[in-house]
Homo-oligomer: A and B are copies of this chain.
Amino acid sequence: MTQLFDKVAILGIGLIGSSLARAIRRAGAAKTIVTFDGNRAHGARALELGVVDQALESAVEAVTGADLVIYAVPMGAYAELAALVAPHLAPGAIVSDVGSVKMAVIRDLGPHIPEGVHLVPAHPIAGTENSGPEAGFAELFQGRWSIVTPPPGTDEAAVQRVADLWRAVGSSVEIMEAGHHDRVLAITSHLPHLIAYTIVGTATDLEGTLQQEVIKFSASGFRDFTRIAASDPTMWRDVFLNNREAVLDVLQRFTEDLTALQRAIRWGEGEQLFELFTRTRAIRRSIIDAKQA
């Protein structure tokens, strides 16, 4: 139990925010944890659950006196919230977040960071398809990666304090340039989610009886996609709007590859299919070897 912060303010107490609050408390990493959530019922519920010490009526109250402020709201809400709380940030405070895109965070929060306050964005690679303060749990970050993406010139001590916090809740930490993070996540996370949303959407447009059977026989592969496609709509809308270039780039590559496969199926080119299917099997092996399976 090492106390790393005095007062942590978590803005937004959904799946990630409430998991982080629980994990920080369990690690004894903060003296006080407070929250503000635009959905007052979420704040009240988090307080009832004992996840936070206080659920405040305004973001300004929440950040006042905090030495760590963590944005855990959908990314579309960052800029407005940041403008509002900027004058109330304590000198020396650290501002961080848990968003899935990092260049956009620097773009949206950067202009609202006063002199003497440190912006250290972060992204825990963890989550479930569930939402809200009740969906959170303290173990969410254990054994997972958290990527910290400080802008160039960020105070090194502040970066280390954020890294220490993520280690305290059980994560491994990687420091990465924000743009590089966004390109990696575009392929490992954003494209898979986009594809899953699309295929489940395609299925919902089927004629009635066929749609019933898609649900009934979903165990044959489709089911895995529906789990991914059940993720929070607001969060994912904001991811795609905020990582547009990197997502469109990998989507273009994907579409080219899919078109080539489509052609191979149409012309009965079995060897091309077999070659790809053999190659992809090897990637699974790499992931098992990297203990990420």
Instruction: Name A residues whose Cβ lies closer than 8 Å to a Cβ of B.
Output: 76, 125-127, 129, 144-145, 147, 174, 183-185, 187-206, 210, 213-231, 233-234, 236-238, 240-241, 244, 247-248, 250-251, 253-255, 257-258, 261-262, 265-266, 268, 270, 273-274, 276-281, 283-287, 290, 292-293
Contact = CB atoms under 8 A, between A and B. Distances in A.
A87 B274 CA distance: 33
Contact of A266 (B194, B204, B244, B273): B244
Contacts of A286: 215
Contacts of A280: 196-197, 200-201, 204, 226, 229-230
A125 B219 contact: yes
Contacts of A216: 145, 174, 290, 292
Given A204-B283, A220-B125, A244 B257 contact: no
Given A188-B218, A192-B221, A195-B195, A262 B257 contact: no
B292 A261 contact: no
19 contacts: A125-B219, A147-B217, A185-B217, A187-B214, A188-B213, A188-B221, A189-B217, A192-B220, A196-B280, A198-B254, A200-B280, A201-B276, A201-B280, A219-B292, A230-B281, A233-B281, A236-B277, A241-B265, A244-B265
User: How many monomers of this chain does the complex have?
Assistant: 2
A261 B194 CA distance: 8
A261 to B, nearest CB: 6
Looking at chain A's contact residues, is the secondary structure mostly helix, strand, loop, or mixed? helix
Contacts of A251: 258, 262, 265
A184 B215 CA distance: 10
A230 B293 CA distance: 12
Contact of A219 (B145, B202, B224, B258): B145
Q: A261, A273, A280: which has the most chain B beta carbons within 10 Å? A: A280
A147 B220 CA distance: 12
Nearest to A286: B215
Given A202-B187, A203-B283, A278 B233 contact: yes
A258 B261 contact: no
Nearest to A267: B244
Contacts of A200: 280, 283-284
A214 B197 CA distance: 20
Contacts of A247: 265
A200 B215 CA distance: 25
A234 B261 CA distance: 15
